[in-house]
Structure 1
């Protein structure tokens, strides 16, 4: 349908209006960087035309060349007909102002751990400068490992994932930020290949979607690797392993921070003897817990 509009739509303003209409008509699901049709349409149009993605108004009345209109029509058509998330179409995702390469080998970066990392987990880490080794468990695209390296520039960072495909994407992002000497990528099933390694800080955004939610996922999410999303009947299979094994990989006073989505009630019921701390996060209340080694 977008292809039929190539000869009718002239300006960027025309394309923006039409894209928003089609996105709304198709009932697309947003949640991979944009929250509504207008923002996603503007982003896809600006990116496709190689324009600054934070400046729309100066270009609204600019006309598109035929080849530009053709490329834009093809991309918007894929978004509507195949329900491919925008970051997979543009091969980029943004997290806390940092740009990362992504494709369908990894989930799209979106983590409530990101602001905590850049704030050096204050006030829970009393002396952030004393973090010399840190671990990003289930690293995926490597986005959190990169943020950890930025927040703790003197720390050696291990970034672990079971998926070799995910680590290939992470390797590209680590190289893009020139962090090859600070971040070590390790293929491992959680802690399996980390014998003898201890850390001052462990963060993890593991799979945590429960079986019912997996069955009800919008089509957009089904383009993401299933192994990076689902985690058993109650969404806690991977978290249980982390909680059992994290203490032996944390130094005294070390910190564990894990994102679990909307599973707080189930988690606290499963581990009634643990006193989880739930930091206040804008838009993500009760999605991340923090524990010390001593609590574990």
Structure 2
């Protein structure tokens, strides 16, 4: 059966159509860089064939070599049968048009904070060139730290993560962007390795998934490290520490941008005295919030 399928698929168009059918039939869960079967199939095929990711039409009717077909079909089957996020199969993820190396030991880069950094946190940052110090807590692959360095050209950025493998991957990404002189990758538990340094902006995509939601995650998300996702019974275990210690690491006019995903109710229940500003993105209007140093001092 496999050989028959292999023989029937001749062109890029054929393989993409086959992938879309397989993905839809398997009812895959998306959300690691795409939100539908077509986009994921196109990316899988173009990436595997080392073709430009933004140029499909000229290649649709190009015939594939036998080895190229085998590579594509192998990834399609892994995606369907193992439910592995495509980013782990290709070893890369794209965020706001920027490529990041990734692997199964680190959460797939996808934070919507990236969208806000692409806008230089406007209007909350009046002059991006005046931002001097940025902290990315729970940096993972280092993607937000790198995007912050690109958004704020005069800033020194510290990128902190507890996991050694995350630190090594983040450093590879920093080196790929040649930002080693501005992005400092540090291993440690939240603020612990930072001493008394204060920041104009702190960005953070922490583990925040509550225990009930963790048990119900689609298979694709279960391939990601639990350490990067699980936030305890109400999802707020690590966030409590991040907020409690945050004011001490912000400049007088500094602020924190924090991702909480689908945990709006749990956040508001855990911090009833806070009145954060929720920042709208293309994905949501209640999954990312902004807190000033003055607000954090009230905790």
Which residues of 2 match residues 130-209 of structure 1 at below 5 A?
130-209=130-209
| CA-CA distance at 1:196 after TM superposition | 1.2
Q: 1: distance between equivalents of 2:11 and 2:281?
A: 40
Q: How many residues align?
A: 296
CA distance in 2, matches of 1:122, 1:54: 28
Taking structure 1 as the reference length, the TM-score comes to 0.96
Query: What is the match of residue 128 of structure 1?
Result: 128
| Superposed CA offset, 1:23-57 (max 9, x none) | 11111111111111111111111111111112222
Which residue of structure 1 lines up, in the alignment, with residue 33 of structure 2? 33
Q: For residues 282 and 6 of structure 1, what CA distance do their matches in structure 2 show? A: 39
Q: 1:243 is matched with which residue?
A: 243
Question: For 1:295, what is the secondary structure of its paired residue?
Answer: helix
2:3 & 2:142 partners in 1: Cα distance? Answer: 36
Note if contact 1:136-1:160 (Cα within 8 Å) is conserved in structure 2: yes
Structure 1 residues not aligned, in runs of 5+: none
Q: Tell me, yes or no, if the aligned pair for 1:141 and 1:167 is still in contact at 8 Å.
A: yes
User: Which SS does the other structure have where 1:7 is aligned?
Assistant: helix
1:80-110 per-position Cα deviation (integer Å, ceiling 9, x unaligned) = 1111111111111111111111111211111
Divergent runs of 4+, >2 A: 1-4, 125-130
Q: CA deviation at 1:129?
A: 2.6
What are the residue-to-residue correspondences of 1:1-296 with 2, within 5 Å? 4-296=4-296
- What is the CA–CA distance in structure 2 between the aligned matches of 1:3 and 1:157, rounded to whole Å? 52
How far the C-alpha of 1:222 sits from its partner, in A, is 1.1
Instruction: Report the Cα offset of residue 73 of structure 1.
Output: 1.6
Bigger shift: residues 207-216 or 60-69: 60-69
CA RMSD of aligned residues (A): 1.3
Distance 1:210 1:14, change over 3 A: same
Contact 2:32/2:86 (8 A) holds in 1 = yes
What is the CA distance between 1:127 and its match in structure 2? 3.7
Residue aligned with 1:197, SS: coil
Does the 8 Å CA contact 1:105/1:165 hold for their aligned counterparts? yes
Contact between 1:125 and 1:255, CA under 8 Å: does it hold in 2? no
The answer to whether the 8 Å contact 1:276/1:289 transfers is: yes
Report the Cα offset of residue 69 of structure 1: 1.2
Distance 1:3 1:31 in 2: 31
Question: Does the aligned pair in 2 maintain the 1:32–1:87 contact within 8 Å?
Answer: yes
Distance 1:193 1:59 in 2: 50
When residues 232 and 4 of structure 1 are mapped into structure 2, their CA distance, relative to the original with a 3 A threshold, is farther
1:4 to partner: Cα distance: 4.5
- In structure 2, stretches of 5+ residues that fail to align are none
Q: How far is the alpha carbon of 1:118 from its aligned partner?
A: 2.3
